[in-house]
Amino acid sequence: MNDVMGLIYTTKDDYSLRELTASRAVAALPVIGRYRIIDFVLSSMVNSGITNVGVIMQRNYHSLMDHLGAGKEWDLHRKKDGLFILPPFQTRENFGIYEGTLDGIKSNISYLRRSKQTYVVLTGTYSVFNTTFDDMLKDHISSGADVTMMYSHLVPERAPDMSSVSQHTYLCLDDEGFVKNIEIGVERPENAPFSMKVAIMKREFLINLVETAQNQGVHDLHKILQTGVENKLAKVRGYEYKGYHKRVDSIQSFYELNMDMLDSKVRNQFFGEHVVYTKVRDEVPARYLSGAVAKNSLVADGCIIEGEVENSVLFRGVHVAKGAKVRNCILMQECSIMENVELENVIFDKSVTVSSGRLVGHSSFPIVIGKGKRL
């Protein structure tokens, strides 16, 4: 894997995630108590031995840059290679706005050209999974394919408010595991596996692909590969991922991801084999005061629990006051729940304060409150 580089395309804000991505990129969205979505794909690359990683950014990337820093937590603060932050910039040819993955790569083609590795692992940031790419690379090389794409048979449900940015893509495979057709933004095809937007190819092939796409006016990687497969110009192979993954492209999928991790079997399987790295914050341990009750919940450091918490995910520094009841909720950093407040099936962004009352949503449609609100 020393001959492999990583390239992560962090998409622009996604309106299907509503308030949660109003001021941050999807890649910077907090999940599971202490992580950001980008932590999982970045950790998967680092655990594979990849030491040259570029992160292509577009909009609302300030919190993402703050989170990544120089890449120290992922051992990517190096004199040679390391973590490269690639924010948008304006030139005569580049307006700083990317319509798709290939636009972002084209604007940063100089980074791709000066890299020395032979192969590229190219990913998006909607999918949460935990793996290494060693076996995928071996399969790619032995098969002789131009591109190998990771897929899963665990197909996510289509959200009614899904935007065009997060359209699902399906791979139709032949008996030998090669892709014979790619279907984009359609109702789920029968028996067709779901593309996780992870691909391995040679670096030079990706450069040529970007130049070809520009000449044809194509912005999306899957669309240019779709044309290549149809015209037999590209040999594309599928590689099955069998572990847990969740594509976070809606409020419902975000809620499900966090709730899934309350299941010890899912959590142990997901985190058991490979370490997931994230930005370290020095906080005191969570405190449970007299009368506090906590059941089947993930409670991060810095929290103060005086009331009742059940089946919930609490991020750093959350305060649940005496008499308050929190059930089936996701409360992000520094939220404050005052005395005798009752919450059920809600998602709070950072620094939300509830001083009184009762707020109850439904598990299939949780209530979402934006950052810094006071209720």
pLDDT tens digits for range 173-217: 888 999 998 888 776 666 678 899 999 999 999 999 998 888 888
Arithmetic mean of pLDDT, 40-66: 92
Residue with tokens 């999928």: 253
| The predicted structure's pLDDT at residue 303 | 96
pLDDT tens digit sequence for 112-135: 999 999 999 999 988 899 999 999
Tokens 């940063």 belong to 108
Q: Compute the CA torsion angle 176, 178, 184, 189 (nearest 10 deg).
A: -10
| β-strand partners of 353 | 336, 374
pTM for the full predicted model? 0.91
Instruction: Place 14 in a pLDDT band, splitting at 50, 70 and 90.
Output: low
The length of the chain is: 375
Please say whether the beta carbons of 361 and 346 come within 8 A. yes
Q: How far apart are CA 350 and CA 318, in angstroms?
A: 9
Across residues 152-180, what is the average pLDDT? 72
CB atoms closer than 10 angstroms to residue 267:
15
In this structure, what are the phi and psi dihedrals at residue 327, rounded to the nearest 5 degrees?
-130, 135
Mean pLDDT within 51-76: 90
Cα-based torsion angle of the residue sequence 146, 130, 105, 57 in order, rounded to the nearest 10 degrees:
170
Question: What CA–CA distances, in Å, run from 294 to 47, 160, 304?
Answer: 34, 34, 11
Question: What integer pLDDT is reported at residue 36 of this predicted model?
Answer: 94
Phi, psi for 123 (deg, rounded to 5): -135, 160
**Rounded Cα gap, residues 303 and 335, in angstroms:** 9
pLDDT beyond 90 at 93? no
Q: What is the mean pLDDT of residues 355-360?
A: 93
CA 91/CA 166 separation, integer angstroms: 28
User: Which residue type does 336 have?
Assistant: S
- Residue 11 pLDDT: 73
In this prediction, residue 164 carries a pLDDT of 39
Question: Looking at residue 307, what is its pLDDT?
Answer: 95
One-letter amino acid for residue 358 of the chain: R
C-alpha torsion sign, points 89, 93, 99, 104: negative
